[in-house]
Amino acid sequence: MEKFKDSNGRDWAISINVGTVKTVQAELKIDITDMATLKVLGDDVCLLVDCIYLCCKDEAEKAGITDIQFGQSMAGTALDSASEAFMNELINFFPAQKANLLRKTLEKAKSLQAQATEEIEKRIENLSYKQLTDSQESQE
């Protein structure tokens, strides 16, 4: 089980198994084992948090935490930690051969994202006042 802390400092353990996959399918109408769904989850933070909640639902219910309360504790660093824990646990759900391929794919995606972020930051740093104001004027 992968673990993370929410923004209230509570510890959570994500558990993904066949039962969890079925629960997510029934409640959210998505298949978290379908790689296309991961793109959707990456674009929809609320749906991602709902998935994570369902993966922690037994623990949350024991603690008396509703899905709304859980969502209220997901922002910033906590959201990053929970997302990473979710992805790692999902990878661990699969048989070894597929898990290894998914792990390599995730590592490559992280590397490409870091490169893209670095490039964007460089472009922002190199912006001149004229470029910035010209860009704003063209949007009006």
CA distances from 60 to 13, 52, 89 (A): 10, 11, 18
Total Cβ atoms within 10 A of residue 2: 20
Instruction: Note the pLDDT tens digit of each residue in 52-95.
Output: 999 999 999 999 999 999 999 999 999 999 999 999 999 999 99
Burial (CB count <10 Å: 0-12, 13-18, 19+), residue 65? buried
Tell me the domain boundaries of the chain: 1-93, 95-140
pLDDT above 70: percentage of residues in the chain:
94
Taken in order 8, 11, 17, 23, is the CA torsion positive or negative? negative
Cβ–Cβ under 8 Å, residues 98 and 79: no
Instruction: Note the pLDDT tens digit of each residue in 10-24.
Output: 999 999 999 999 999
Q: Collect all residues with Cβ–Cβ distance below 8 Å to 76 and sequence separation of at least 6.
A: 7
pTM greater than 0.85: no
pLDDT above 90: percentage of residues in the chain:
60
| Helix axes of 96-125 and 76-93: crossing angle, nearest 10 degrees | 150
Confidence (pLDDT) at 39: 84
Residue 135's pLDDT band (boundaries 50, 70, 90)? low
